[in-house]
Amino acid sequence: MTFTEKDLIIPQDKLKAGTTHWQSPSNIAIIKYWGKHGVQLPRNPSMSFTLQNALTETKLSYKPKEEPTAGIELDFLFEDAPNEAFRSKLVTYLDSLLPFYPFLEQLSLKIQTVNSFPHSAGIASSASSMSALALCLCSIEDDFFGTLGDDTMFDRKASFLARLGSGSAARSIFGGAAVWGQTDLVAGSSDEYAVSIEDQLHPIFKSLHDDILIVSSEEKAVSSRAGHRLMDKNPYAPTRYAQAHERLSALLPALKNGDIEKFGEIAENEALTLHGLMMTSNPSYLLMEPKTIAMIQAIRIYRKEQNVPVYFTLDAGPNVHLLYPEEYISDVRGFVHSELANLLDEGTYIPDFVGEGPEEV
């Protein structure tokens, strides 16, 4: 399925005001997406779990423009305050969608959005925010044109639109787990949008916990967008892309069979590979902090000494995602409070788990 440019123009007598409201979660990639080409196309397939509590809530209001004008007309509030930097990025994004959604030039838009977690600290805020916005846009399309009544078509179109704003956002459209990037390992997979693999998860992974340990809530020094660009000249990039395919091939059977040990091994190796690629870029950079390393070491010691299947992964930031099965919640939470609390930024962590995906509000 390929989405092509469409002549979606609202007839003058059908123009009206309205509101659509979605909340969409972040996700945590186990197989990492790092490196792209073309228009937001991945160099390798990635796989992620969709979270439940780390989410963005977006309200998109629209009305006919008072005067016909070219371009996007947008009022934007982030957490109830104007943010010109974010507004400018969204105008650029929405302008890029005009070949698919020319009707956006007919409307005056207002976006109000709020996150449940710190922005730009490496918790894939772009994944939750852009997926929430994409879902709002699909609701508007379906309302005016009735073109997305089929759930599969709606989700894939939303994933496609989300991808154009943030690659990882393509996966947040689906609950449970998703794969983005064409691979012979997953039927229907595509570089254009993500697909759900929730039905391929063993029950142990459908209730997997992900406690996000906040080492720093400061905005990271190097954006993910800049990091992807640096992969173009990274000498290890070709080997990395081949490695991602190999690891996905090993991960999918583990997810299906409930092999938590193999899963954890791959998750941790992928996390360290991601940050290794940052350190071998030119210019090189480091997003992990000393407390990140201290947490990783403490987790590995705890796992070995207590024989508790708890593993870590990292996104593109310093914060640590603690992954473990539901049955070990009391043990792991006790470990966090007794051994890791002093490493947290103001004691902050977000208890999270694999969730059911976006929800219309």
Given 3.40.1160.10, 3.90.870.10, 3.30.1130.10, 3.30.230.10, which CATH number is that of 12-202? 3.30.230.10
User: Tens digit of pLDDT for each residue in 230-251?
Assistant: 999 999 999 999 999 999 999 9
Quote the CATH superfamily of domain 207-350: GHMP kinase, C-terminal domain (3.30.70.890)
Instruction: Tell me: pLDDT of 98 over 60.
Output: yes
Residue extents of the structural domains in the chain:
12-202, 207-350
d(CA 151, CA 162) in angstroms, rounded, equals 16
d(CA 290, CA 173) in angstroms, rounded, equals 34
User: Tens digit of pLDDT for each residue in 157-168?
Assistant: 999 999 999 999
Residues 6+ apart with CB under 8 A from 189: 45, 179, 180, 181, 182, 183, 195
Q: Are strands 177-180 and 46-64 parallel, antiparallel or unpaired?
A: antiparallel
Residues 6+ apart with CB under 8 A from 71: 95, 105
Reference 42, options 193, 215, 222, 265; nearest CA is 193
Model confidence at 211, pLDDT cuts 50, 70, 90, reads very high
Residues 6+ apart with CB under 8 A from 242: none
pLDDT of residue 217: 78
Model confidence at 183, pLDDT cuts 50, 70, 90, reads very high
How many alpha carbons fall within 13 Å on the CB side of residue 275? 20
